[in-house]
Amino acid sequence: MRKSIKLIPISLAMIVIAGIAIACCKKSPPIVDTTFNDDDCLIFSANDRDIAFDTGSDITVLYADTIPGSAFFFCHVTATDIHGDDIRLKKYLWLNPYSSHKEVLFQPVIILPQSFAPKGVNVLWGTDIINRSNWHIDFNRHAIDNLSRLPDRSADIILHYRTIGNRWETDLQLDSLFLKNILIDTGYTRSDLILSKEQINLLEAKFLRKDTCYNFRNIPSEMAQYMRKECLVNGKEIDNMTIALSQDKSIIGLPFFKRFSSVYMNTDKQMIFCYD
């Protein structure tokens, strides 16, 4: 009985400490003002780590073959990959991952083996970090920062999004087809959009080729890719828009945003401004 009595306050203390740690980690975002690799993924270096910027993930991922001594197991979570497969994973609290920001006590992360990482990435930032800042991404200069203000000019496309389970979802008007709950996923790089077979047929998109897509465990799978030569997206004409086939989740990927010279992500107002 004594052991049980002692375990109760210890467990409560751990829960309280974890709650305080998570609250503290949300207060202050890491400052970013750098360039990114002109590659498939949006990858930049900060604090001696190669970081992928992924709005399609609702939690940050640390790629490491051993659990760091500064990471503490917190709970189990279920993740869903791009193909709709659910996987049970462990969530950790990672102690002070940003050495230049001492006020950040803990960062909740999923830890996966380095072999799962895209192109040698060390850390994948999900919306749990991305939501703490507004972001300016300049595709001409290959620059990303969370210090800039909204550009003083009219955007060519504005996407209003909402957060569902910390994921960003928007609605799109594609010609006469209105689509709801499209996931905004800057970690997906194989096509402008992912849509269902029915949606692709309604758009009268033509088969383009077979392509290979990788899930977050870096396991490849084949996907059919289609093309629509001309398409009005929220009233703006987009040429040669690529669309991959999936029955699980509709997605707007990084290639769509790379059609523009720059984008500004206002996470306060949940709006993305795209500029030619």
What does the mean pLDDT of the chain come to? 83
Distance separating alpha carbons of residues 61 and 108, to the nearest angstrom: 9
The verdict on 75 and 167 lying in the same domain is no
DSSP 117: S
Question: Using one digit for the tens of pLDDT, what is the confidence trace for 188-210?
Answer: 999 999 999 999 999 999 999 99
Domain end, chosen from 145, 169, 192, is at: 145
Nearest to 137, CA basis, from 12, 22, 32: 32
* 18 lies in some domain: no
Residue 16's CB is within 10 A of a number of other CB atoms, namely 10
Residue 230's beta-bridge partner residues?
239
Question: Using one digit for the tens of pLDDT, what is the confidence trace for 220-245?
Answer: 778 899 999 999 999 999 999 999 99
**CATH number reported for the structural domain that contains residue 194 in this entry:** 2.40.70.10
Domain end, chosen from 99, 115, 145, is at: 145
For residues 31 and 269, the model is more confident at: 269
Pull the structure tokens for residue 185. Answer: 């996923």
> For residue 92, what are the CA distances in angstroms to 81, 161, 258?
19, 29, 33
Q: What percent of the chain has pLDDT over 70?
A: 82
Residue-range definition of the domain harbouring residue 252: 157-275
The verdict on 136 and 48 lying in the same domain is yes
Distance separating alpha carbons of residues 237 and 74, to the nearest angstrom: 47
* 13 lies in some domain: no
Position 153 scores a pLDDT of 92
Q: Say whether pLDDT at 14 is over 90.
A: no
Between strands 135-138 and 143-145, the pairing is: antiparallel
DSSP 242: E
Nearest to 70, CA basis, from 95, 92, 49: 95
Asked whether 166 and 234 are in contact (CB, 8 A), the reply is no
Question: Using one digit for the tens of pLDDT, what is the confidence trace for 162-177?
Answer: 999 889 999 999 999 9
Residue type, 174: L
Question: Max CA-CA distance within the chain?
Answer: 73
Question: Using one digit for the tens of pLDDT, what is the confidence trace for 59-71?
Answer: 899 999 988 888 8
Distance separating alpha carbons of residues 10 and 17, to the nearest angstrom: 10
Q: Say whether pLDDT at 99 is over 90.
A: no
Position 217 scores a pLDDT of 65
Average pLDDT over residues 205-217: 82
For residues 2 and 253, the model is more confident at: 253
Nearest to 246, CA basis, from 56, 79, 81, 83: 83
Q: Under DSSP, is residue 147 helix (H, G, I), strand (E, B) or coil?
A: coil
The number of domains in the chain is 2
As a dihedral over the C-alpha atoms of residue 184, residue 77, residue 128, residue 60, rounded to 10 degrees, the angle is -90
